[in-house]
Amino acid sequence: MGISRTIGVFDSGVGGLSVLHHIRAALPDARLIYIADSAHVPYGDKQPAYIEQRSHTLTRFLIEQGADAIVIACNTATAAAAASLRGRHQLPIIGMEPAVKPAVAATKSGVVGVLATVGTLESARFAALLEKYAGNVKIVTQGCPGLVELVERGDLHSAEARRLVERYTAPLLQAGADTFILGCTHYPFLAPLIGEVAGGHISLVDTGTAVARELKRRVDTELPPHVRLGMVGSENFYTSGDAGHATRIVSSLWGRSITVQVLPSQFS
């Protein structure tokens, strides 16, 4: 016998799979339910009220499916909706935030670059992180329109992808940054290309491991155990977009063949 719990995870699209990999490693026996809200991607250029509404809708679906805890695997949605979700629901709700603290600790040049969506960079939450942790370190921010869409297409190595990465990393390199924060859960899938373009001396920091660790801590300390026999970890994947396209991209990014289901219409 062992402990099994259901973890609900959502993102604007497939980017949150970068976090889901860490969650699976931290909770190997858990049932994972993932929603790629690809009909509404990207969140970064939408109004906070719209993102908040989508976050509540997706959370309601995950709770109906038996989720014991929710992970908002999106920096923009965390900024827009984490507070109101926590105000409405009693279960653990774990959000994302750009890894300013570890990046500030890691930099040797005293300059940290942030690659993020416009929505994240404009949020009060991000401003508060800078105020709290930046100290004497110079933070250079760069909005990255188009990178989310590349990952949504599974386009991680094309000439277009390289052009965009070169464009967005150039100002950070010119400012002397030696550490880049990957401030969107889609961006870790572009990490090999970003590292290749920026150079091997650049440290790339994301928060997937920290989020999975915090999730495990809260699940272990706050939730009563669910015990069942023959426990095996499982995953269910949903999308608000096209199921065929999502199945192809999610299978590629997850690392094995899976089937993505379409969200019921009232949640799409």
- pLDDT(223) > 90: no
pLDDT of residue 229: 46
- pLDDT(167) > 90: yes
pLDDT band at 2 (very low <50, low <70, confident <90, very high): very low
Mean pLDDT for 193-215 is: 95
Over residues 55-99, the pLDDT tens digits come to 999 999 999 999 999 999 999 999 999 999 999 999 999 999 899
What is the rounded CA–CA span in Å between residue 21 and residue 38?
19
Q: Are residues 106 and 58 in the same domain?
A: no
Q: Are residues 71 and 37 in the same domain?
A: yes
Mean pLDDT for 210-239 is: 84
Instruction: Please name the amino acid found at residue 87.
Output: G
For the question of residue 144 being annotated catalytic, the response is no
Its pTM stands at 0.93
Mean pLDDT for 116-140 is: 93
Which is catalytic among the residues 30, 62, 71, 74?
Answer: 74
Would you call 21 helix, strand, or coil by DSSP? helix
Q: Are residues 143 and 184 in the same domain?
A: yes
Mean pLDDT for 103-130 is: 94
pLDDT of residue 1: 39
- pLDDT(232) > 90: no
Q: Are residues 50 and 130 in the same domain?
A: no
Mean pLDDT for 5-29 is: 96
Q: Are residues 30 and 152 in the same domain?
A: no
Any idea which residue has 């790339």 for tokens?
204
Domain limit, last residue, from 154, 179, 205: 205
Domain limit, last residue, from 159, 187, 205: 205
Q: Are residues 126 and 162 in the same domain?
A: yes
What is the rounded CA–CA span in Å between residue 22 and residue 17?
9
For the question of residue 184 being annotated catalytic, the response is yes
Which of 151-165, 202-216, 222-236 has the lowest average pLDDT?
222-236
Q: What domain range includes position 69?
A: 2-96+208-267
CATH number for position 182: 3.40.50.1860
What is the rounded CA–CA span in Å between residue 49 and residue 185?
21
Quote the number of domains for the chain.
Answer: 2
Two structure tokens written together for 268: 């799409």
Q: Are residues 191 and 236 in the same domain?
A: no
Q: Are residues 183 and 220 in the same domain?
A: no
Write the CB contacts of 100 (distance below 8 Å, at least 6 apart in sequence).
Answer: 112, 114, 129, 130, 132, 133, 134, 139, 181
pLDDT of residue 230: 52
Mean pLDDT, all residues of the chain: 94
Domain limit, last residue, from 205, 225, 247: 205
Q: Are residues 129 and 257 in the same domain?
A: no
Which is catalytic among the residues 71, 79, 184, 253?
Answer: 184
* Cβ-contact 178, 202 below 8 angstroms: yes
pLDDT of residue 3: 53
Q: Are residues 76 and 124 in the same domain?
A: no
